[in-house]
Amino acid sequence: MYSKVYGAGITGLEARIIQVEADVSNGLPVFHMVGVLASAVKEARERVRISLQNSGFRIPAKRITVNLSPADLRKDGSGYDLPIAVSLLAASGMIPQNKDKSILMAGELGLNGHICSIQGALAMALQAKKEGFRRFLLPKENAREAAMVDGIDIIGVNTLLEAVEYLKGVLELSPVRVDLNSLRREPEENSWEDFDEVHGQENAKTALVTAISGGHNILLIGAPGTGKTMLAKRIPGILPILDREEAVELTKIYGIAGLLREDMPLVLQSPFRAPHHSIPAAAMAGGGKDPIPGEITLSHNGVLFLDELPEFDKNTLEMLRQPMEEGQIHIARLGHSYAFPADMIVVGAMNPCKCGYYPDISRCRCTQGQIQSYLSRISEPLLDRMDICVEMDRSPGEDKKCRGKASAEIRRQVQRAREIQTRRYRDEKITRNSQLTGRLLKKYCRLGKAEQRCFEDLREQLGLSARGAERMLRVARTRADLEQSGEIQEVHLLQASLYKSVNRKYWGMEAAYER
């Protein structure tokens, strides 16, 4: 007899529906599996056979052929075990066959018949809904993740026997439901380190608030011990709340990467990724034979914090240029090309020289050549993509009684600015000021005559490239939003220009340095 059921596999960040066909016919007892299978799928033959046996089912001693199609697509992963087992039972006449394309299945089988969790459940559910499936049968551990998709019944099962009884109509299982709106809440005040614990550094705090509010990249420059890392570690507490679409997209990415937590299989807060400077380029960009997301994609809709920026490998840093400009990263493999989302805020922190004390000539031990060599590790194109450069105060406030704003208050300020941008761009395909380009930049960053003259003067004084000038204008737009100003004023342009002048001080070697 012949049977056909439907499974799913992951290619890049997308799911593909796979037809799992089984044929049980007379002949020498063999078990063939075909369809361009990776090792994990080939091994499913033994997992399925023993799992069926230990679940009380007996496979007939006949010629068994299982085909996974389309045949030109490489299948990898252990999620095909359940559909293979069900197709064998249907072809053997032990369970009724589904004549229509109504149910999708995925799950790894243990030898005792237990159905183990898989990666990419949400991506599979999204594709299943897109292609018209009404139900998705999968491991119970993955049910909440997949239930973020509306319009399809998510059925979680623990064992193969439970799945079979459900398909036969003997067992009734209710679809899993998730109320995402009830789960999405503001972070608890004590869940992250608080900004009010940082005394002084008001300029850097203002710059960080501006960066997070508008989605701008920011570089913190300062001597060791001035609080660069301390400030960066408090960024998660002021990140805006994810909307439903962003939460679904991030959960999909983290599910495919296998990074979802068992106690919370949904990504509800903006990510904050802080890879060590020894990270290789492949881990930063993602990839592999079957590409998986790297740190750049894992920080999508969140923050990528790069501490000790010049210590990163130059090739690793240079690959940031494309995603910082386009909001996605392209990965090419033989016969395939993948575009992974990478719309993140890059937060860099660095010392101005190897010893860290330039341009303080009383403490700096580096020669001018050593300073230039150290700073040259950050290329001009990468530096140009940093919307904000801010110099840390060398003598931060020490008055313990003078506490700054708490993270909860700053987060509300950031949220208000984001809401202003969301309303402004509701008819566009963008949500933040950092995404303004070309026509949209002219439309939403119009300047009066006095402001236009100020902008041109600042651009000439700072020697900005066209990209640098556009980025300065976007930052000015964010400064106006933070002050709830409908129009960009001269003061906003001046504030934005200060963030572009700091890099000239160091990379232009304008600071006096004498021995």
pLDDT in tens, 55-78: 999 888 889 999 999 988 888 888
pLDDT exceeds 70 at position 182: no
241-262 pLDDT, tens digit per residue, is 888 889 899 999 999 998 987 7
pLDDT exceeds 60 at position 239: yes
**Inter-residue contact 22 to 7 (CB < 8 Å):** no
Banded pLDDT at 52 (limits 50, 70, 90): very high
Average pLDDT over residues 326-344: 85
Amino acid at 340: F
What is the Cα–Cα distance from 176 to 183, expressed in whole angstroms?
15
C-alpha 508: how far from its chain's center?
34
Average pLDDT in the chain: 89
> In sequence order, what are the beta bridge partners of 286?
293
125-167 pLDDT, tens digit per residue, is 999 999 999 999 999 999 999 998 989 999 999 999 999 999 9
What is the Cα–Cα distance from 101 to 306, expressed in whole angstroms?
47
What is the Cα–Cα distance from 264 to 151, expressed in whole angstroms?
22
- With tokens 């990415």, the residue in question is 253
What is the Cα–Cα distance from 209 to 15, expressed in whole angstroms?
37
437-474 pLDDT, tens digit per residue, is 889 999 999 999 999 999 999 999 988 888 889 999 99
- Of 244-258, 333-347, 375-389, 455-469, the poorest mean pLDDT is in 333-347
pLDDT exceeds 60 at position 401: no
311: nearest Cα among 353, 344, 366? 353
pLDDT exceeds 70 at position 290: yes
What is the Cα–Cα distance from 156 to 168, expressed in whole angstroms?
16
Q: What is the pLDDT of residue 395?
A: 63
The secondary structure of residue 224, as a DSSP letter, is T
Cα end-to-end span (Å), the chain: 89
Highest mean pLDDT, choosing among 19-28, 304-313, 366-375: 304-313
What is the Cα–Cα distance from 128 to 143, expressed in whole angstroms?
14
Q: Using CA atoms in the order 37, 38, 42, 47, what is the torsion angle rounded to 10 degrees?
A: -130
- Of 399-408, 468-477, 496-505, the poorest mean pLDDT is in 399-408
For 30, 55, 87, 353, 409, the CA distances from 24, given in Å and listed in that order, are 10, 20, 10, 71, 66
